[in-house]
Amino acid sequence: MTGASCAFSLAHYRELLEAAKAGGYRFVGFDRPPEPGDLVVRHDVDLSLDAAVRMAEVEAEAGVSSTWFLMTRSVFYNLLSEEGERALARLRELGGRIAHHAVWPRVDLDERFEPVVAWHNPSRDYQTAPIDGATNAMSPPWYDPPRFRTDSNQNWRHRDLPGHCPHAELARGELDWLHVNVHPEIWVYHGRTMRETMEAFLAAERQLRLEQLRADRIDLS
Ligand SMILES: [Zn+2]
Ligand SMILES: [Zn+2]
């Protein structure tokens, strides 16, 4: 399998994790500057806590952990709902670190989070700027363009290697360290394009919403 044709699926995510383990990488968080041999896996959870939990289960099975950046002001999920609190507890239980995916300019850091922030859909003006009282995950030394990849919109982004999945280089231990941003929804729901993946996500959400309506004593007969 080449880097360019890798599937966005939980099966391939598991292969990516195994590749990193085979390459000798340590899975670390944002509590210290990155060192050679480090793999900083971060997840910006934009759409679905369910998808985050499913991906965290794959990480736990592989014996690795990552940092989950959760939103307090998402239009797609409510971290303060019972379901949201359950998902956060489950991510912790599976070994995940919890950080904050903030919507500019508001930072809602509290005891739920490590003092680490990544902005949601940032503009270049503030993406990498320091944040009072917190680590900005997209500031140096964690953000170093040659050592950063993101799967945004189902397309691996990298300064020099656009569209290129990093699993093969990880397996060979070629990268001294890497910070990778993996959006769980893209790997949990399936589609050849981001549009198709989002249609699959919406179909799952519809089922979830129907269950929530029933739980809310709405008559669906
Ligand atoms: Zn791959
Ligand atoms: Zn985001």
pLDDT digits (tens, 9 = 90+) for 100-120: 999 999 999 999 999 999 999
What CA–CA distance (Å, rounded) separates 65 from 57? 10
Q: Is the pLDDT of residue 3 over 60?
A: no
pLDDT at 161: 81
CATH fold of 24-188 reads: TIM Barrel (3.20.20)
Q: Which ligand is nearest to the CA of 150?
A: 2
How far, in Å, from the CA of 24 to the mean position of ligand 2?
A: 29
Alpha carbon of 95 to ligand 2 centroid (Å): 22
Residues around the ion ligand 1 (C-beta < 5 A): 6, 165, 167
Question: Mean pLDDT across the chain, nearest whole number?
Answer: 95
Per the CB < 8 A criterion, the answer to whether 110 and 99 are in contact is no
Give the pair of three-digit tokens for residue 3.
């880097």
Measuring CA to CA, how many Å separate 22 from each of 25, 26, 154, 187, 211? 8, 11, 25, 21, 41
Neighbours of 174 (CB within 10 A): 11
Ligand nearest to the CA of 75: 2
For the stretch 151-185, pLDDT in tens is 999 999 888 888 899 999 999 999 999 999 999 99
**Most distant CA pair in the chain, distance:** 59
